Amino acid sequence: MRNLDVTLIQCELAWEQPKDNRRQIGATIDGLDQSTDLIVLPEMFTTGFSMNALANAEDPGGTTEQWLLRLAVEHDCAVTGSIAVREGDCVYNRMLFVTPSEVQHYDKRHLFRMAGEDKRYTAGQTRVVVPWRDWRINLQVCYDLRFPVFSRNQDDYDLLVYVANWPAQRRHHWRQLLMARAMENLACVVGVNRIGADAKGFQYSGDSLAIAADGELLLDVRNDNAAASVVLDGAALKHYREKFPCQLDADSFQLD
């Protein structure tokens, strides 16, 4: 199992300004001084966590998806993050996973009712694990982090990726839950959050992290506006799973 170079893009987001957000994120990516395998952007990286679902939603294959494809081709990597996407009468908080040759997606399952997300968006139903450069990657969005059954490793993934707009007032929850997801699932975890303030007055502290399967903190972006990279060690992950195979004693279950 090869190593995976991952770049975390932690940034402020202009409220409901997709062009401005694509411009600033694109400039950051173009300024990277080394190659990478995977670039991770925040949740709703074109708009911020807006409940103006219909006004902000793009069609499948729309402007942002095409922009991500161009980035993936130009930088020979995968790029992931979520945007609002409209299909029929439904709008999804959709996490796109874009490689130079294909687009896959995961629709956020757990919608944040305290902000009314469950009234404006449609919940996804399907767990999504995508293969990329020898790694199996489980895609998750923000509030999904609080529901460990949905992310339970069934020996089907190596890396768990969360993209988020997670408010600073609950930053302790974010950091501790990311750590827990890594240790309980014997998997690497990457969580990317935004910084700054949104139009609703919510503050975001960032705290984007990369964590090894044994709970070692590999990268902590803290509150910086930054593109930070980390190498996930495939051989170390395999060795740890063999040395400490607690998954062999896991309880069996079925998710309805």
C-alpha 231/C-alpha 160 separation (Å) is: 15
184 is catalytic: no
Q: Is 108 a catalytic residue?
A: yes
42 neighbors 192 (Cβ within 8 angstroms):
yes
Q: In whole angstroms, what is the distance from residue 97 CA to residue 168 CA?
A: 26
User: Which residue in this structure is represented by tokens 């202009």?
Assistant: 14
11, 58, 65, 142: which one is catalytic? 142
Buried b (16+ CB within 10 A) or exposed e, 169-186: eebeebbebbbebbbbbb
- Active-site pick, 11, 77, 108, 188: 108
Distance CA 155, CA 187 (A): 10
Chain-centroid distance of CA 183 in Å reads 18
**Three-class SS of 215-253:** CCEEEECCCCCEEEEEEECHHHHHHHHHHCCHHHHCCCC
Name the percent of the chain in helix, strand, coil, to the closest 5: 30, 30, 40
Rounded Cα gap, residues 96 and 79, in angstroms: 8
119 is catalytic: no
Select which of 43, 58, 65, 117 is catalytic.
43
Q: Give Cα separations from 161 to 130, 146, 187 (angstroms).
A: 11, 14, 10
Q: Which residues are catalytic?
A: 43, 108, 142
